[in-house]
Structure 1
Amino acid sequence: MSLLALDRYLMAVPYGSGWQGWRRGLLECCFFGLKEARACLFVGLFFLCVLLVPRAGLWGIARYDVLLLLALAIQGGMLAWRLETVDELKAICLFHLLGVALEAFKVSADIGSWHYPDPAWSKLFGVPLFSGFMYAAVGSYVIQAWRLFALRVEHHPPYWMAWLLAICLYLNFFTHHFIGDYRWYLAACALGLYARSSVVFTPYDRERRMPLLLAFVLIGFFIWLAENISTFFGIWRYPNQLGAWSAVHLGKWSSWSLLVVMTFTIVINLKHIKQRVHVPV
């Protein structure tokens, strides 16, 4: 079965639509899990590469360079298999550029928030270019989930407010080193902006609803878990992990959740997605 055929199957209602009780709950949970796994295709393949590529690299090619080549191959495959459109690829490239810019700032000698210990030809300003795909993976997940779950958003704040918040969130990742961390003030702004917002999704044949803020927090949590796995395998290290590995500070969960807010703001401006976003007049 091709991936497009799998997508058609997941979004169809082949059987059991009239079930009730525990059987319906189990059916919806199964389809929810399948759709989530499918939406994580890029994420899953990319982090599988992270886990399997040895630190010494492959075929005489450094690990970071191998990961870049594999990430490009995965991204090219998704475009070739029509799992992503050209417009969606443009948004994903934007995530990549924003991610690399942030990484370059964070690993600079003056900041030193973390560092990439291994050598590579594909390093730019101390940042291996594959790292941008970690940010692009979040955008890819949101785009895939939007289609598979037939997502729509109710009571989204005005776009100019969402964009202003997204820009401030991104800038705070840079400016908090100089003028203080305004993360929690921005989180309070996000809470106010999105307090009435809901995301409507279809696990199987019926629409379900959850607060959009809860979706941001949940996605941020799973990114935090992925970050723990990546640092455990030495893809990058925080200063407190140089002697021996330790779990990434729980505070990073909030940072990732706020980054998801920014990612979501970019994704909903895609033309075919914007049509399913309700902004009260």
Structure 2
Amino acid sequence: MAKVVSLDGQLSFLDHYLHPDPRHSNLTGLARFAIEFLLFGLKEARACLFAGFFFLAVFAVPRAGWFHIPRYDLLLIIALAIQLWMIWAKLETLDELKAVCLFHLVGFALEVFKTSGSIQSWAYPDPAYTKLFGVPLFSGFMYAAVGSYIIQAWRLFDLRIKHHPPYWMAGVLAFVIYANFFAHHFIGDYRWYIAACLLGLYARSTVIFRPYDRDRRMPLLLSFVLIGFFIWLAENISTFLGVWKYPNQLGAWSMVHVGKWSSWCLLVIMIFTIVANLKHIKKHVHIPE
């Protein structure tokens, strides 16, 4: 069996099954739909590898922890182990790891602010040895998981962006999104004004991806909304398991307010912008007209 080298020069036993077989290039109708749908699902699962394993750990580790190790500390150990395994198995490059670490730092800084005494948007109620400023260190990996997914999906689906807005404009709005997460506690929440600007900026943008051997297209804004929705679902499960809690969930669990969906969509756009700018620095993402 021939080895398959991925776009970033990585070797992976999974990559062999995620590349088109020339014998199937003439498939049509239901057979093509089935193959593309299967490959789309496999590539999505491959892109979600870090997030999937990490989320399974969140689900599996009991609140009391294991072997007298608190739950939050175990989740940190597991997250680090998954990350090291992905590097060892060449499922992730060192450049990708650097970007993931950046998302971890950005997310952890937000967590520290949001859980601080004067804000207390949510809380981590369980004890842990690896808490810093009252925030368990594993929490940054939840943001890193989103970044990991976007980075992996970009490579696996051979993503290209048509009509990408000027990078400096996208970068400014990404900074404004991040700043609003902090500033809205003091000067008001401007997310809907930001969303209106994003709608205008990305209205013409299309993401082109390749689940099999042909390009498919989707409005870029729709992809942001869909990713944000699935993160919101994961957040509901995590709060149900008591990993963290919002003030209205301290007495009894209730569904995370649907408004958080918009927050996750904005966060996805911010992370996507960082990835896109990093990709642009290495080489273009534009498609020639």
> TM-score normalized by structure 1?
0.96
Find the partner of 2:162 among 154, 161, 186.
154
State how far apart, in whole Å, the 2-side matches of 1:105 and 1:192 are: 30
- Among 194, 206, 210, which residue is 2:202 paired with? 194
Counting matched residue pairs gives 281
2:63 corresponds to? 55
Q: Secondary structure at the match of 2:79?
A: helix
1:91 aligns with 2:120: no
Could you list the runs of 5+ residues in structure 2 that have no partner in the other structure?
4-10
The residue matched to 1:257 in structure 2 has which SS? helix
- The reply to whether residue 164 of structure 1 matches residue 172 of structure 2 is yes
Cα distance, 1:239–1:138 mapped onto 2, change above 3 Å:
same
Confirm or deny: 8 A CA contact 1:158 1:279 kept in the other structure.
no
Q: For residues 63-97 of structure 1, give each alpha carbon's deviation from its aligned partner in whole angstroms, at most 9, with x where no partner exists.
A: 00000000001011111112111111111111000
Decide whether aligned partners of structure 1 residues 179 and 248 sit closer, same or farther in structure 2, where only a CA change above 3 A counts.
same
Corresponding residue to 1:141 among 149, 153, 162? 149
| 1:222-245 deviation digits (Å, cap 9, x = unpaired) | 000110010010000001111111
Q: Following superposition, which runs of at least 4 residues in structure 1 exceed 6 angstroms of deviation?
A: none
SS at match of 2:13: helix
Separation in 2, partners of 1:273, 1:211: 23
Match of 1:72 in 2: 80
1:11–1:149: 8 Å Cα contact kept in structure 2?
Answer: no
Query: Partner of 1:117 in structure 2?
Result: 125
1:139 and 1:172 map into 2 onto residues whose CA distance is 20
Structure 2 counterpart SS, 1:209: strand
| Unaligned residue ranges in structure 1 (runs of 5+) | none
Question: Please, which moves more after superposition, 218-227 or 84-93?
Answer: 84-93
**1 CA distance for matches of 2:287 and 2:176?**
21
Letter of the 1:158 counterpart: P
Does the 8 A contact of 2:160 with 2:287 survive in 1?
Answer: no
- CA distance in structure 1 between the aligned counterparts of 2:280 and 2:12, rounded to whole angstroms: 18
Residues in 2 aligned to 1:184 and 1:158: alpha-carbon distance in whole angstroms: 21
Look up the match of 1:25.
33
Report the Cα offset of residue 280 of structure 1: 8.1
8 Å contact 1:67–1:130 — kept in the other structure? yes
TM-aligned CA distance change 1:244 to 1:186, over 3 Å = same
Contact persistence 1:195–1:213 (CA under 8 A): yes
TM-score, normalised with respect to structure 2 = 0.93
Q: Which of 169, 173, 193 is 1:185 aligned to?
A: 193
Q: How big is the shift at 1:138? A: 0.3
Q: Distance in 1 between matches of 2:219 and 2:252?
A: 39
Q: Is the 8 A contact 2:104 2:140 kept in 1?
A: yes
Q: Superposition RMSD on alpha carbons, in Å? A: 1.8
- Partner-residue secondary structure (3-state), 2:12: helix
Q: What is the rounded CA distance, in whole Å, between the counterparts of 1:210 and 1:276 in structure 2?
A: 20
Paired with 2:85 and 2:194, the residues of 1 have a C-alpha distance of: 37
Q: Distance in 2 between matches of 1:271 and 1:198?
A: 17
